[in-house]
Amino acid sequence: MGIRNVLIEGDETLRKKSREVTEITPRMLTLLDDMAETMYANDGVGLAAPQVGVLRRAIVIDIREETSGLIKLFNPVITEKKGSQKVEEACLSVPGMSARLERPFEVTVEGLNPEGEKVQYKAYGFLAQAFCHEIDHLDGILYVDHPHEIIEPEEKEGED
């Protein structure tokens, strides 16, 4: 396992569509482990394979709640969206910036776990937001591509 470099906005890899994972190999499992380690090392809550330079449909998420824990998925797809929520978002690939935007309040996500089994998650609130954010990365979309309102640094300083 190892910590990988996170690509920064402007790197063309972040704008490309990722390919489906057709076979779960030891190399793909190492990718997930490295992504999780990289996410934790950078104090993130999610990471998509393109952010570490790999154009494969793989994500890791850990919003640090007991109910969800570390989620590792290949080929995640949002099959249902409900409601909406105004959220604050940031991204390891867009350092030093955060913005407010709208995301679904509830999503249903299907994908393959590391064992190759089909799994489904019903996610609400912050976890739904994280799924949307990471799955966007797989299609070359960054959160700043959505209609958003920049949060100025002085605005954040007053928050505690």
Provide the β-strand partners of residue 73: 59
Residues 69 and 135: their CA atoms lie apart, in Å, by: 18
Residues 6 or more apart whose Cβ sits within 8 Å of residue 26:
none
The two most distant CA atoms of the chain are separated, in Å, by 48
* 89 has catalytic annotation: no
Which residue out of 9, 23, 37, 134 is catalytically annotated? 134
Residues 6 or more apart whose Cβ sits within 8 Å of residue 23:
none
Would you name the residues annotated as active-site residues?
A: 134
